Amino acid sequence: MYKLDTIWIVILVIMSIFLYDTNFEFSNKYLACATYQIVDVNKGDSLWTISARYVTDKDDIRHLIAAIKQLNRLDNNTQIYPGQLLKIPVASDNIRLARETN
């Protein structure tokens, strides 16, 4: 019985870590941004290519993508299209990067 309880505790701990890691709202600095850039989507753009313009090597691009989706009310199946305007949160330490790439 003790061994079975230990296994369940280990499983719950692993699941908790996994759920915490995949839920970017807990540690996503982009969700707290007060600075935004409006981007006009071009042909061939994706959330990944757009986000790549606004992150540094020290940032996790998935956090920005998650914030863009939430801010623009996009779900995982939503496609972006040329001419669409997206509101992009820009962290204060990435403002210079955004200006250089646009």
- Let me know if residue 12 belongs to a domain: no
pLDDT for the residue 13: 76
> What mean pLDDT value characterizes the chain?
80
- Let me know if residue 22 belongs to a domain: no
Find the mean pLDDT for residues 10-30. Answer: 65
Number of compact structural domains in the chain? 1
Q: 60: domain CATH number?
A: 3.10.350
pLDDT for the residue 84: 96
Domain that holds residue 92: 30-101
Give the confidence band of 1 by pLDDT, cuts at 50, 70, 90: low
Q: What are phi and psi of 36, to 5 degrees?
A: -135, 155
- Let me know if residue 76 belongs to a domain: yes
Q: What global pTM score does this model have? A: 0.65
The beta-carbon contacts of 54-63 under 8 Å, at least 24 apart in sequence, are 54/88, 54/90, 54/94, 54/97, 54/98, 54/101, 55/94, 55/97, 56/93, 56/94, 56/97, 59/91, 59/94, 62/24, 63/24, 63/27, 63/28, 63/29, 63/30
d(CA 89, CA 27): 15
pLDDT at 45 over 60: yes
Find the mean pLDDT for residues 69-95. Answer: 86
- Let me know if residue 13 belongs to a domain: no
